[in-house]
Chain A
Amino acid sequence: MIRNRTRVLTTLLAAGLVVACGVAWYVTRTPASPFDGAPAPQTPPAAAIQRGEYIARLSDCVACHSTPDGAPFAGGLEMATPLGSIFSTNITPDVKTGIGSYSLADFDRALRHGVARDGHRLYPAMPYPSYARFSDDDVQALYAYFVHGVQPVEQANRPTGIASPLNQRWPLALWNAVFTDGRSYQPKADGDALWNRGAYIVQGPGHCGSCHTPRGLAMNEKALDESSPQYLAGALLDGWYAPSLRGDVNTGLGRWSEQDIVQFLRSGRNAHAVVFGSMADAFNNSTQFMSDEDLRAVARYLKSLPGNPARDGAAWQYTAAAGTPPHPDAQTFMTRCAACHGPDGRGQGQWIPPLAGSAASMAHENASSINVTLNGSARVVADGIPDAYRMPPFRNQLSDQEVADVLSYVRTTWGNRGGAVKPEEVKALRERTNPASSNVIILQMR
């Protein structure tokens, strides 16, 4: 009996040891790269560096790997996690503090697998689950650009604010095993070349899902491609609601033509909407630099994603506001909003966006409505020219109650169905977007 128990115990221990060793090996192993053992590349031709620069634009590397006043790609941007702040890293080719000592294979492992040169796992604030889709060619071009096209900057990386033992990186290897597939993009036979190119940009370098796909409990994107209806179905992040990019007629792109999408990403505006919130950064740094062909590809792909009528509801139709002159709730609207957005809420062509029927006015999530009213929109710079029309911030002019009243009017008039806004919701977001508050939102992921 005792001997039996000892044997069982020994077996269990041994099995446990094997599993532990297996896990230890797995979480510290260096994933393979197709570039392993490749000879150090010669100085690439200018065209390859240029192509790499274009891919860096598509991927919007600069948005996170720079601070507003810092050198491009020198890192240092703070990002919040539930455990504490982390900081983006220096990806200039500086040997001491940047990625100057990275081989192509090292670079590939960081980009597509989230593993740094010294073997530590990156936090998935780096969108490597999306960048995994990169083709080998694009990885090479991007590497050529970062090694030969970017100015080295000596700027040490800041340590994370996450305390020990939660700052251990190895569990991220298990996260990767569950939530990423690490496969580069495989063209689909049933899509044409344009569609496949669009799918590649949207899923890979564009990493649109980082903001627009809802995340699960482990901060994982619930889907990484069109195989799931959750993909790009809209998500709340950093105090903004990134709307659905699917065919949802009210809260998505259902009413947009492919040409509308191209115009929006190229010039930052169309008759349906103007970029604001985090999308203003994505436009300023990335989408406006995309080639016409790539923009058409993105539009083709996005328009192939079906909407979800069960969630989205019946198609919006404009209905004129009841009562003339407008009822008292509209007072703030008429004095603060109507000069630009029109007394009828229909905006002014492509210059000033309509509130009637807009995704932000139709979506149940009201964060974008509140945030843009309190804080205004960011400067939109198209072709180097700042915009003539910009939403001003009203946080110092309107009380929580007034913001709630005016947004409740906007979100329930002209056929809008977003629903009323409560003063408590305005108060909460006002505090979370006040830079002087101790509770301010710090950018999370994109």
Chain B
Amino acid sequence: MELHINGKSYEVHAEPDTPLLWVIRDELGLTGTKYGCGLAQCGACSVLIDGVVARACVLPVAGVVGRQITTIEGVEADPVGRRVVDAWVRHQVPQCGYCQSGQVMAATALLRETPHPSDEQISAAMVNLCRCGTYNAIRAAIHEVAGQAGKSSTALNEAAGAEDTGRAQA
């Protein structure tokens, strides 16, 4: 089977019913995607399939042959993903960090589909679990990306840099 992941092609030899998560982690060594519950409940294993967020622990690998798979390792190649990661860093969202690659994938999918989501839309889309309780920081980071939607990530970084400088001076 040939998989398209983060713009590259990989030949994999797993059984067709193997969950995609085990193929990308164990066979391909892309371990940024995490195993949480194995039951599509927590979202730690979120990846994008053709731009739509999906849970890799319940995706039989045979079903994603020929589709574009994006994992946390490749999300920054996407302009929206790049801005999400930057905002995550600026807001220092992760605490333990285990769920955060899934959170970033879910946020990227949301903002690609809905560039200016309301609080309700964020609540509806961001159902990934975080036992550290970083939900408020996640929401703030998403709002920031949404507020800046349309600006280039370089401009954002400069703005953030200026903010940090200002904070340091104060």
B-contacting residues of A (Cβ < 8 Å)? 331, 334-335, 339-340, 348-349, 351-352, 388-390, 392
Contact = CB atoms under 8 A, between A and B. Distances in A.
B124 A351 contact: no
Contacts of B127: 335
Contact of A340 (B17, B18, B40): B40
Interface in B35-57: 39-41, 54-55
A389 B124 contact: no
B17 A388 contact: yes
B63 interface: yes
Give the size range of B's interface with the partner. 10 to 19
A335 B43 CA distance: 10
Of all A-B residue pairs in the complex, the 6 with the closest CB atoms, nearest first, are A339-B40, A351-B60, A339-B55, A392-B39, A335-B127, A340-B58
B62 A349 contact: yes
A412 to B, nearest CB: 21
Nearest to B45: A339
B30 interface: no
B39 A349 contact: no
A331 B60 contact: no
B124 A335 contact: yes
Contacts, number: 34
Contact of A334 (B58, B59, B124): B124
Interface in B106-160: 124, 127
A392 B40 CA distance: 9
Contacts of B19: 388-389
Contacts of B18: 388
A390 B39 contact: yes
Nearest to A352: B58
A226 to B, nearest CB: 36
Contacts of A334: 124
A385 to B, nearest CB: 10
B62 A389 contact: no
Interface string B43-85: 0000000000011001110110000000000000000000000
B60 A392 contact: no
B58 A339 contact: yes
Contacts of B17: 351, 388-389
A351 B39 contact: no
27 contacts: A331-B124, A334-B124, A335-B124, A335-B127, A339-B40, A339-B54, A340-B55, A340-B58, A348-B59, A348-B60, A348-B63, A349-B60, A349-B62, A351-B17, A351-B60, A351-B63, A352-B58, A352-B60, A388-B17, A388-B18, A388-B19, A389-B17, A389-B19, A389-B58, A389-B60, A392-B40, A392-B41
Contacts of A331: 124
A125 B3 CA distance: 52
